[in-house]
Amino acid sequence: MPTKVVVGAQWGDEGKGKIIDILASQSDVVVRSQGGNNAGHTIKQKDKTYALKLIPSGILFPKVCCYIGAGVVLNPEAILLEIEKLKEENIDFRNLKIDPRVQIIMPWHIALDAAQEEKKGKNNIGTTKKGIGPCYCDKIKRIGIRLHELINPKIFRERAKIVGEFNNEILVKIYDKAPLKIDEIIEKYLSYGEQLKQYVADISSLVYDAYCANKKILFEGAQGAMLDVNFGTYPFVTSSSPITGGVCTGVGIGPTYIDDIIGVCKAYTTRVGMGPFPSEILDEKAVLIREKGFEFGTNTKRERRIGWFDAVVLNHSKIVNGFKKIALNKLDILSGIEKLKICTAYQTKDKKIIKNFPPCLETLDEITPIYEEMPGFSEDITNCKTIEELPTNCKKYILKIEELCGCKVEMIGVGPKRHQNIYRNI
């Protein structure tokens, strides 16, 4: 398959970075299409751990071209820092390219993100405070600053002055915060523009050319379907579209250029930040899974909330993404739990059984998850190389997920490293 989309099927942190890193070894191009440095993708090699935020997870292979598409929001300071740190590890950046249309995250976006969260009080979203929402907001308002403007000093000065002062007014008058020093910001950001100039290229055209040359292209999702601004648990979502459709609008390619889609999920569920989480575990099992699975944010180090595998979520994700294949990560973490639960449906307040994910918060607040209990497994599976080597109850768990989700589990993660992955028909 020449082009493949890898998307998060739950609330993010499903192990997309690991899957991309594995698939990148057989790819020519890896492309990010949305989100920003709110993402944190971990890649573990023998003795090294990389936590990537904006740089596509194909970067560890020097021959792979890594592209950042127009739908991304780019913090110039953050990406330059990430590049600098990775260069210390001898990572090659000659093949990194960024679309001139990406929106620039400016300091006022970060200040507004924090001020908005503070004002919301206990109803806060629990954002990563990286300025993602306010930056996408300026984009939709059609006042955002794009990379092609950042690298043009005359235009950048004019635009940053106007937009900066406008956002300063909001900071001061609405949120009662101190204004930012626009002139200082302009000078600092011009130097970032100068450093980023070398990476700028039209990603839509580059991807099309690569497709025509029959290159293998991987589209790397960030976040996950349940954080999608339209189809996630709104308003407890991110501000972009982390589903397959977001790849088309974020890279600038039509859907006919997508050949294959793989949904990445964990064998259980996690979410960071606030908002509905029907299958959340609220007893000591959550602590156990969190500690064993090291479920703390790659980026913000926050504790991840833990829940059972939710087939209602996965079916919703399958529909909005269009995948028929799953990469099921972190199965090893469930070893030692005597009884495993899978959420198969929800019961509404008026006792109706539903299998579709409710579109509104009010219904979500009132549903009760319905579980099917399955016997667990106690064996260490971290060295298993084939599905046959897995314990019987573990295999039954995988088959149950396939049956409930109508998807094929094609990759099974039994550990964080590249080689700790079982393949079925891939």
Interacting residue ranges for Mg ion, rule: CB under 5 A: 13, 40, 298
Q: Which residues of 335-374 are buried (b: 16+ CB within 10 A; e: fewer)?
A: bebeebbbbbbbeeeeeeeeeebbeeeeebeebebbbeeb
Binding-site size, ligand IMO (CB under 6 A): 24
| Residue from the set 44, 77, 78, 126 that interacts with ligand IMO by CB under 6 A | 126
For the bound state, the minimum distance from the C-beta of residue 233 to ligand IMO, rounded and expressed in Å, comes to 9
Work out what residue 130 binds among Mg ion, ligand GDP, ligand IMO, none; the CB cut-off runs from 5 to 8 Å by kind: ligand IMO
DSSP, collapsed to helix, strand or coil, labels residue 325 as: strand
Which of 273, 293, 307, 415 contacts ligand IMO by CB under 6 A? 273
Single-letter amino acid, residue 102: V
Q: How far is the CB of 115 from ligand IMO (least distance, A)?
A: 14
- Cβ atoms of 221 and 6 within 8 Å: the answer is yes
How far is the CA of 246 from the CAs of 223, 253, 278, in angstroms? 12, 10, 25
- Return the residue matching tokens 């979203």: 125
Residues with catalytic roles: 13, 41
Q: How many residues are present in the chain? A: 426
Residue 47 vs 350, nearer CB to ligand GDP: 47
Cβ contacts of 327 within 8 Å, gap of 6 or more:
6, 15, 19, 262, 263, 264, 265, 409, 410, 411, 412, 413
- Selection from ligand IMO, ligand GDP, Mg ion, none that 273 binds (CB < 5 to 8 A by kind) is ligand IMO
| Torsion region of 73: left, alpha or beta (phi above 0 gives left; psi -120 to 50 gives alpha) | beta
Residue 193 or 246 having the CB closest to ligand IMO: 246
Encoded one letter per residue, x for contact with ligand IMO by CB under 6 A and - for no contact, window 16-55 reads ----------------------xxxx--------------
Q: If contact means CB under 5 to 8 A according to the sort of partner, which of ligand GDP, Mg ion, ligand IMO, none does residue 15 touch?
A: ligand GDP
Which of Mg ion, ligand IMO, ligand GDP, none has residue 346 at its interface (CB below 5 to 8 Å by kind)? none
Closest of 216, 220, 240, 222 to residue 230, by C-alpha? 240
DSSP, res 170? I
Q: Which DSSP category does 122 fall into?
A: G
Tell me the three state secondary structure of residue 261: strand
Q: Which residue is nearest to ligand IMO (CB)?
A: 273
Q: Which residues bind ligand GDP (CB under 6 A)?
A: 8, 12-18, 40-42, 44, 298, 329-330, 332-333, 413-416
Closest by Cα among 319, 316, 317, 293 to 306: 293
Verify binding: residue 130, ligand IMO, rule CB under 6 A: yes
Can you tell me which of 22, 83, 150, 272 binds ligand IMO, judged by CB under 6 A? 272
List of E strands, 127-221: 217-220
Chain position whose Cβ is nearest to ligand GDP: 413
- Contact footprint for ligand IMO (CB under 6 A): 8, 11-13, 38-41, 125-128, 130, 132-133, 222-224, 227, 238-239, 272-273, 298
